Amino acid sequence: MAPEEWVNPLRDGRDKRLPRIAGPCSLVIFGVTGDLARKKLMPAIYDLANRGLLPPGFALVGFARRDWAAEDFGKVVHDAVREYSRTPFREEVWAHLSKGLRFVEGTFDNPDSFDKLSSTLEELDRERGTGGNHGFYLAIPPAAFPVVLKQLSEAGLAQAQDGQWRRVVIEKPFGHDLDSARQLNAVVNEVFPEDTVFRIDHYLGKETVQNILALRFANQLFDPIWNSHYVDHIQITMAEDIGLGGRAGYYDGIGAARDVIQNHLLQLLAFTAMEEPISFEPCELQAEKIKVLSATRLAEPLDETTARGQYAGGWQGSQPVVGLLEEDGFAADSTTETFAAITLEVDTRRWAGVPFYLRSGKRLGRRVTEIAVVFKRAPHLPFDQTMTDELGQNALVIRVQPDEGVTMRFGSKVPGSSMEVRDVNMDFSYGLAFTESSPEAYERLILDMLLGEPSLFPVNAEVELSWEILDPVLDYWAAGGAPEPYEAGTWGPPSADEMMRRTGREWRRP
**Euclidean distance between CA atoms 308 and 259, whole angstroms:** 14
Q: How far is the CB of 238 from ligand BG6 (least distance, A)?
A: 7
Q: How far is the CB of 322 from ligand BG6 (least distance, A)?
A: 18
Q: How far is the CB of 255 from ligand BG6 (least distance, A)?
A: 10
**Antiparallel, parallel or unpaired: β 368-375 and 296-298:** unpaired
Q: How far is the CB of 121 from ligand BG6 (least distance, A)?
A: 29
273 near ligand BG6 (CB under 6 A) = no
C-beta separation of 452 from 3 below 8 A: no
Task: Pick the closer one to ligand BG6 by CB: 259 or 464.
Answer: 259
C-beta separation of 32 from 64 below 8 A: yes
For ligand BG6, what does the binding mask look like between residues 411 and 450, x meaning CB under 6 A? ----------------------------------------
C-beta separation of 242 from 361 below 8 A: no
Q: What is the DSSP string of 461-506?
A: HHHHHHHHHHHHHHHHHHTT-SPEEEEETBSS-HHHHHHHHTTT--
C-beta separation of 182 from 471 below 8 A: no
C-beta separation of 147 from 63 below 8 A: no
Find residue 343's DSSP bridge partners: 357
Task: Pick the closer one to ligand BG6 by CB: 25 or 268.
Answer: 268
**Euclidean distance between CA atoms 3 and 158, whole angstroms:** 20
Find residue 496's DSSP bridge partners: none
Q: How far is the CB of 401 from ligand BG6 (least distance, A)?
A: 6
Task: Pick the closer one to ligand BG6 by CB: 85 or 196.
Answer: 85
| Residue, CB closest to ligand BG6 | 259
Residue 107 phi/psi, 5-degree rounding, is: -120, 155
- Give how far the C-alpha of residue 249 lies from the chain's centroid of Cα atoms, to the nearest Å: 20
**Euclidean distance between CA atoms 55 and 77, whole angstroms:** 18
Find residue 308's DSSP bridge partners: 340
- Give how far the C-alpha of residue 122 lies from the chain's centroid of Cα atoms, to the nearest Å: 34
For ligand BG6, what does the binding mask look like between residues 169 and 208, x meaning CB under 6 A? ---------------------------------x------
For ligand BG6, what does the binding mask look like between residues 288 and 327, x meaning CB under 6 A? ----------------------------------------
**Euclidean distance between CA atoms 37 and 341, whole angstroms:** 30
C-beta separation of 221 from 230 below 8 A: no
- CB crowding 325-363: b at 16 or more within 10 Å, else e: bebeebeeebbbbbbbbbbbbbebebbeebbbbbbbbbb
Q: Beta-carbon neighbour count of residue 309 at 10 Å?
A: 28
**Euclidean distance between CA atoms 311 and 487, whole angstroms:** 6
Task: Pick the closer one to ligand BG6 by CB: 259 or 443.
Answer: 259
Number of residues binding to ligand BG6, judged by CB under 6 A: 5
Task: Pick the closer one to ligand BG6 by CB: 78 or 247.
Answer: 247
Task: Pick the closer one to ligand BG6 by CB: 61 or 260.
Answer: 260
Answer for which of 260, 293, 298, 364 binds ligand BG6 (CB under 6 A) is 260
Task: Pick the closer one to ligand BG6 by CB: 232 or 240.
Answer: 240
Annotation says 264 is catalytic: yes
259 near ligand BG6 (CB under 6 A) = yes
Q: How far is the CB of 369 from ligand BG6 (least distance, A)?
A: 6
240 near ligand BG6 (CB under 6 A) = yes
**Euclidean distance between CA atoms 238 and 412, whole angstroms:** 29
Number of helices (H), then strands (E), belonging to the chain: the values are: 17, 17
Task: Pick the closer one to ligand BG6 by CB: 327 or 420.
Answer: 327
C-beta separation of 132 from 161 below 8 A: yes
Task: Pick the closer one to ligand BG6 by CB: 244 or 346.
Answer: 244
Q: How far is the CB of 449 from ligand BG6 (least distance, A)?
A: 17
370 near ligand BG6 (CB under 6 A) = no
Among the listed residues 134, 229, 264, 380, the single catalytic one is 264
Q: How far is the CB of 362 from ligand BG6 (least distance, A)?
A: 7
Q: How far is the CB of 382 from ligand BG6 (least distance, A)?
A: 43
Which residues are known catalytic residues?
Answer: 264
User: Which residues are at the interface with ligand BG6 (CB under 6 A)?
Assistant: 202, 240, 259-260, 369
